[in-house]
Amino acid sequence: MKIICAGLQKTGTKSIAEALRILGYNVHDVFEQFHHEKELWNKILDNTVTVQDYQRILENVDAMTDFPAIAVWEQIYEAFPDAKIILMVRSSEDEWVRSVFKQREVANEYVVKNDFLRQLQFQFVTGPLSLQFYNIETAFTNASIGVSRMYGQTLPESFLRSRYRQHNSYVKSICPKEKLLIYNVKDGWKPLCTFLNKEIPDRSFPVVNVQAEMTRQVVKERWKYDCGFRSVMLKQTYIRVGSFLAVSFVFLAYFIYCIFL
């Protein structure tokens, strides 16, 4: 582990991930983490994780950003004390809150807003992969920004603001200054490359996930870093729905047969 991106969700996590990939780093963002490091997240939730688990499971990863990792960035740093820390921030707290609410607005176009109905959907319709993601998302998003998920019916703004302030202040207070870059992705290549001792690429700094566009791309299976999540989830959903319809047809046919026998 060379770089820990300690900025909360909606602080340019997708842009910094793409920038680090351009610089040659092996970056694990949300879906790479879910796909490759699921053992680690389960151990954390079971309270069985050790420093050696972090070191073993993450040994071939150069950089991590967004959740689940952001919720345990400090533990990752303890396991890899030579890593550099990038604290991504927005231009203002208000801008960050607006971005979170925009994420909620876009995500709500595709999910069931009622918590109970959504839980039923994940339990009985969409299959085990989406349920696993939902459970990890609930735990680690709550740990990082103080709400269970960035969609659904309500997002208490006071919780979000408090968590944003607390998180940024804490990172600044404990990280050695020589290892910490406080960074706004709007600042582009220069501060990032200077901090990482890298040459500035001969291309524009990537601007990714503007207006929560990644959510739409994931739904349409156009997000190239989803590790096949969407296609597997759809396959499992089709199997479950198809099985339910087949069983229902058999019972209906049997019922009709019994009536007219």
Buried/exposed 41-65: b ≥16 CB within 10 Å, e otherwise: bebbeeeebeeebbeebbeebbbbb
CA dihedral 141, 143, 145, 147 (to 10 degrees): 70
Q: Tell me, what's the pLDDT at 244?
A: 65
CA dihedral in degrees (130, 131, 132, 133; nearest 10)? Answer: 50
Q: What is the pLDDT of residue 176?
A: 93
SS3 category, 124: helix
Count of domains observed in the chain: 1
Domain hosting 132: range is 3-260
Q: First vs last Cα of the chain: how many Å apart?
A: 70
Q: Which helix (H) or strand (E) holds 117?
A: helix 115-124
Q: What does the block give as tokens for 18?
A: 């793409």
By 3-state DSSP, what share of the chain in percent is helix, strand and coil, each rounded to 5? 60, 5, 35
Alpha-carbon distance 104 to 247, whole Å? 36
* Residue for token pair 């842009």: 15
Q: Say if residues 109 and 29 touch (Cβ distance below 8 Å).
A: no
At residue 199, what are phi and psi to the nearest 5 degrees? -70, 145
Asked if 90 and 200 count as a contact pair (C-beta separation under 8 A), the reply is: no
Q: DSSP labels for 144-157? A: HHSSS-SSSS---H
CATH number for the domain that contains residue 111: 3.40.50.300
Rounded to two decimals, the pTM is 0.88
- Digits of tens for pLDDT over the chain (261 positions)? 999 999 999 999 999 999 999 999 999 999 999 999 999 999 999 999 999 999 999 999 999 999 999 999 999 999 999 999 999 999 999 999 999 999 888 888 877 777 777 777 776 677 788 888 888 998 999 999 988 888 877 788 999 999 999 999 999 999 999 999 999 999 999 999 999 999 999 999 998 877 667 787 777 778 888 888 888 878 877 777 777 677 677 777 767 767 776
